[in-house]
Amino acid sequence: MSAIVIDGKAVAEEVKADVAKKVEGLKSRGIVPCLAVILVGENPASVSYVTGKRKALAAAGMADKSVLLPETATEQQVLDLIHELNEDSSVHGILVQLPLPKHIDEKKVTNAISPEKDVDGFHPVNVGKLLSGEKGFLPCTPHGIAVLLKKAGVATDGANTVVIGRSNIVGKPMALLLLRREYNATVTVCHTGTKNLAEYTKKADILIVASGHPHTVTADMVKSGAAVIDVGVNRIPDSSKKSGFRLIGDVDYDSVKEVAGYITPVPGGVGPMTIAMLIYNTLEAAENISLAEGK
Ligand code: NAP
């Protein structure tokens, strides 16, 4: 039997509609949640992600103070801009679209964002809070996946969960989040040093794949009935498309959907949730800041 396809687009619409309603409430108190996205250069994938984020901001009724800098912008210019936005009380969230051009130190830039405005959840203060179980901003992609699992009715409590990938933005925070008591999963993290990947994946009730390579997971690596979450976004040439490419994930979708119990498509699975959770975090930032200011 074919897997249930988890509709990330529909769940993301639900989350965004809920956020938009809360934005109305804040606006009636004179607070307009505002995000500043900083994009340096014109990397096509980054431009497309930033466009998507800004569209979602507008749809949620939020203000947009995004800044587009040329590829030649210096590290100091980016840091100065972040300091300015940190001080700007009308801005509640700041996000720097990664990757940055090679001459700019990503860590330095990420660490310059005020933790209270770090809606990506990449600042060490928020990473530390995730690790210690304190309330802080959760990274959007792992948080979106946790919401998707819940909405799809996939039980995480005691579930054998395998995460493929240990990046700071997906794999590691995903593992930490599902380890929390509220999710209570048993989590294994695999990476390129893992010997016999299939041995692990075949035992997974929940398999989260963030390897960055198409076809990392094939049907023979998946337990029957497992929930397979495909985080991957890979552009592959396709002359039948106007753009000249199409997007595929890290999972061999066509074969895996015949074995899995649940599966997320690419596009239309995890991607829309990442944007929805960014909007959610921006709302949270505006609520926190206005509360701290006694509004
Ligand atoms: P990344 O930084 O390249 O990390 C990939 C991870 O996968 C690394 O830890 C790597 O191991 C591991 N890996 C690679 N090939 C493997 C294999 N054959 N077996 C086991 N482990 C393997 O990538 P990322 O930033 O986490 O992103 C992962 C994917 O998700 C990409 O396709 C990216 O485009 C996508 N993504 C999507 C969204 C979204 O919103 N949909 C958001 C973020 C990322 P090592 O550590 O040993 O190198």
CATH 3.40.50.720 is right for the domain spanning 140-271: yes
Listed residue (238, 287, 241, 272) closest to 32, CA to CA: 287
What pLDDT does 293 receive? 83
pLDDT tens digit sequence for 210-239 = 999 999 999 999 999 999 999 999 999 999
State the CATH class of domain 30-114. Answer: alpha beta
What pLDDT does 259 receive? 98
Calpha distance 64→110 (Å, rounded): 20
pLDDT, average across residues 160-164: 99
Q: Are 119 and 141 in contact (CB under 8 A)?
A: no
Mean pLDDT of the chain: 97
Rounded to two decimals, what is the model's pTM? Answer: 0.97
Domain definitions of the chain by residue range: 30-114, 140-271
Residue 194 Cα: closest atom of ligand 1: 20
Residue 271 Cα: closest atom of ligand 1: 41
Mutational test site, ligand 1, from 122, 143, 170, 174, max ligand atoms within 8 Å of CB = 170
Say how far residue 140 (Cα) sits from the centre of its chain: 3
Residue 1 confidence (pLDDT) above 80: no
Give the number of C-alpha atoms closer than 13 A to the C-alpha of residue 249, restricted to the C-beta side: 25
Helix (H) or strand (E) holding 282: helix 270-292
216 lines ligand 1 (CB under 6 A): yes
Q: Percentage of the chain surpassing pLDDT 90?
A: 97
Euclidean distance between the first and the last CA atom of the chain, given in angstroms as a whole number: 54
What pLDDT does 221 receive? 98
User: Do 140-271 and 30-114 fall under one CATH topology?
Assistant: yes
pLDDT tens digit sequence for 117-161 = 999 999 999 999 999 999 999 999 999 999 999 999 999 999 999
192 lines ligand 1 (CB under 6 A): yes
Exposed, middle or buried by CB within 10 Å (0-12, 13-18, 19+), for 197? middle
CA 27 – ligand 1 centroid, Å: 39
Tokens for 75, please give them: 């590290």
What pLDDT does 30 receive? 94
CA 250 – ligand 1 centroid, Å: 9
Calpha distance 217→234 (Å, rounded): 14
